[in-house]
Structure 1
Amino acid sequence: MSTETYRRAAETGDVDLALTAFAPDAVLHSPLTSRVVFTGHAQLRPLLEVAFSHLTELTFHTDAGDDRTRVVVYTARIGGEAIEEAAVLRLNAAGLIEDATLFVRTLPALVALMDRFGPDIARRNGRPLAARVLGVLAKPLLAMVRSGDRHAVPLAAPRT
């Protein structure tokens, strides 16, 4: 099954193996925005290279569903943040991933993902100016989210 191949590839950082789990015209929906979609192996390769270069300690803990729709969930670290990502994977008749929609938690991890992935993907797509702009724009947001998570969120938590 392609989810087993995808899991093994992600855990070992093997981009070529990961691509064998995807249909040639597969579509991947970004967890950051509905305006970004990656289509086909040519667009998925740089995304997977960036992902595998920044995610550490990646371990899958859930793989559920049927032969047409699977949900896989993993934990990892990105830029010092713990991250958990769920992917809803729709499989074609051959069992290859034809559509993947990603969901990330926590908010600090999502912003860390944006901070790390955005500039690298822009660079790999031949957009060095966009890479610099994305790198600059993400830093204050990351600082605000981390500060809020550390100092503001505990103010709303139940008292123990």
Structure 2
Amino acid sequence: MRLSTKGRYAVTAMLELALHSGKGPVTLADISVSQGISLSYLEQLFAALRAKKLVRGVRGPGGGYYLGKTAGEITVANIICAVDEWVEFTRCGGRENCHDGQRCLTHHLWDQLSDEIFRFLDAITLQDLIDRGQRQVPAPLKVEKTEPDPGLERDRKRRAA
């Protein structure tokens, strides 16, 4: 099993918000530039995160996003589940039909591993990631680029239309 970019990017973006907590709202465009994640992809992720109340948005000039709860209340598992990612190691995706419609011989082993990983991720908060030194100094939010990124420029034009 491998966590997809959806889950990894959601955790990265949420950690970016946590690192800038108390410094005003953070725009998706700023996260896009500092983390190298497409703006349209972030919009999809943040719609799901907003629906689960993990982030709250402020509209208008000077708007952006804040964490919906404190960094100590948001777990990595909360984030991954909010964007519809699942940590599942069974071949059948937990449906117990991995071998000709029946549970395979090792289903319990892989199911238990999935549970252990979920518990592990559910025990780690954004604050833990910051406190454990997982934090790097956040990239400045207003980054000057010498060459425009065609993907970001396309996203901006699409939003303006």
Larger Rg: 2
What TM-score do you get using the length of structure 1 for normalisation? Answer: 0.29
TM-score normalized by the length of structure 2:
0.28
Determine which structure has the larger strand proportion and give its number: 1
Q: Which has the higher contact order (CA 8 A, sep 6+)?
A: 2
